[in-house]
Amino acid sequence: MTSIAAKHPRDSKKSLKWNRAFLLKLELRSQPGLLCVIRGALAPLMEMLEFSGEHVREIIRAVDEAVANIMRHSYHGRLDQPIEVYCNRLHRESNGQTEQAIEILLFDCGPAVDTTKLAARPLDEVKPGGLGLHIIRGSMDTVEYKRAGRLNRLRLVKFVRPSKAGSAQEKLS
Amino acid sequence: MKISARRIDTSTILDVSGNIDMSNSPEIRKVLLRELREKGVSRVVLNLSAVDYIDSSGVASLVEGLKASRESGSRFVLFGLSDSAREVLKISRLLKLFEVFDDEAQAMGSKAPSV
């Protein structure tokens, strides 16, 4: 079993630079049966970072769909290909207050993604399939794709803030 | 994921437990289409009360079930949706297309919506 870092040492330097302050790294093969493992690992981490229940579900949904897309479209169903998931806590100053976020980076060694095909399909037509990208974009604050050397990198960011349900409850109390 | 079927009159209730994702959504699609197309039941009721998570491939299977029910003139009814399942249908703008009930009694007591 070869890791992405071992397979592409030059590219992995960039990965090392990015993951320096990461909270968690997951390295897995492209097996759909492992999706539940990712969900199971991320849920307690997001709860620890004080995301609301609604936002934990959104983050897990986005990462799950992103990894499933890698398995389906980047690796075309091959089961032995490497995928790496890095999680990092982010901070930013905004109006004198510190905002916190989670940054999730996903790497795979598949061919470069044709970015012209990254448009989510219109939802007006009721048909199965093609919902993954729409779900990812609707769940995260930032979704960025980048070709990094011979790797595909997807960057997902979600800021910690009260959920709509949480805000409503706070107003009522 | 596990699926078991119960037959009540001309309806089939499918009890699903576990999570529905890319690894097992073809199975639920197969069961739904068998009930709706081959067995020709008048109503398929999907019990999702023991399902915490549904991904987009699971949603796609539900949409295929809905389409098959419309083609065969039968009903496809959901109940017991978790917050996560409800949210993924909502974000996909599909929630209003399905007949969704809180529990089995409501689902079984419901009548087909007038067209």
Q: How far is B107 from chain A (nearest CA, A)?
A: 23
The pLDDT value recorded for residue A8 is 57
Interface of A with B in 100-139 (CB under 8 A): 123, 126-129, 131-132, 134-135, 138-139
| Res. A116: pLDDT tops 90 | no
> Residue A19: is its pLDDT beyond 70?
no
pLDDT at B2 over 70: yes
- Angle among Cα B95, A118, A73 to the nearest 5 degrees reads 90
What gap in Å lies between CA B21 and CA A68, rounded to an integer? 9
User: Are the CB atoms for B39 and A49 separated by under 8 Å?
Assistant: no
**pLDDT above 90: percentage of residues in chain A:** 63
Residue B70 structural domain: 2-109
Say yes or no for a CB contact (<8 Å) between B64 and A64.
Answer: no
Domain of B64, CATH number, reads 3.30.750.24
Residue B114 lies in a domain: no
Q: pTM of the full predicted structure?
A: 0.86
> Looking at the domain assignment, is residue B24 inside a domain?
yes
Angle at B93 between CA B88 and CA B94, to 5 degrees: 80
**Whole-number Å distance between alpha carbons of A113 and A131:** 17
Do residues A40 and A26 make contact, with C-beta atoms less than 8 angstroms apart?
no
CA A25 to chain centre: 12
Flag if A135 and B92 touch (Cβ within 8 Å): yes
Distance, in Å, from the CA atom of A103 to the CA atom of A90, rounded to the nearest integer, reads 7
Q: What is the domain count for chain B?
A: 1
CA–CA gap between residue A110 and residue B101 (Å, rounded): 42
Nearest to A57 among B63, B83, B92 (CB): B83
Out of A128, A131, A135, whose CB is closest to B64?
A: A128
Q: How many domains does chain A have?
A: 1
* Domain enclosing residue A60, as ranges: 4-172
Residue A170 has pLDDT above 70, yes or no: no
pLDDT at residue B115, as a whole number: 57
Please say if the pLDDT value at position A11 is more than 70: no
Q: Where are the alpha helices (DSSP H) in A49-155?
A: 53-69, 132-139
**Cβ distance of A68 and B64 shorter than 8 Å:** no
Average pLDDT, rounded, for chain B: 95
CA distances from A135 to A10, A54, B11, B27 (A): 33, 14, 32, 22
Q: Sort out which chain B residues have CB atoms less than 8 A from A123's CB and list them.
A: 92-93
Mutation target to probe the B interface, by most B beta carbons within 10 A, among A34, A52, A57, A136 is A57
With 50 as the cut, is the pLDDT of residue B68 above it? yes
pLDDT at position A1 is: 54
- Do B12 and B43 contact (CB within 8 A), yes or no? yes
| Closest CA of chain A from B33, distance in Å | 14
Domain-embedded: residue B22? yes
Q: Does residue A14 surpass a pLDDT of 50?
A: no
Q: Is A46 on the interface with B (CB under 8 A)?
A: no
Residue written as tokens 């995301």? A51
CA distances from A144 to A106, A127, B38, B50, B83 (A): 11, 26, 44, 34, 27
pLDDT tens for each residue of A32-63:
999 999 999 999 999 999 999 999 999 999 99
Residue B103 falls within a domain, yes or no? yes
Q: Using a CB-CB distance cutoff of 8 angstroms, which residues of chain A are in contact with residue B53?
A: 39, 60, 64
Residues 67-96 of A with CB under 8 A from B: 68, 71-72
Q: Are B92 and A53 a contacting pair at CB < 8 A?
A: no
| pLDDT tens, position by position, B98-108 | 999 999 999 99
Question: Do residues B75 and B43 lie in contact, with contact meaning Cβ atoms separated by under 8 Å?
Answer: yes
Residue B3 has φ and ψ, to the nearest 5°, of -130, 130
Q: What is the CATH number of the domain that holds A52?
A: 3.30.565.10
- Is residue B48 included in any domain, yes or no? yes
Kindly state whether residue B43 falls inside one of the protein's structural domains. yes
Q: pLDDT by residue (tens digit) across B70-80? A: 999 999 999 99
Mean pLDDT for all residues in chain A = 83
Is B20 contained in some domain? yes
Confidence of residue B45 (pLDDT cuts 50, 70, 90): very high
Q: Measured between alpha carbons, how far is B109 from A171 in angstroms, rounded to an integer?
A: 37
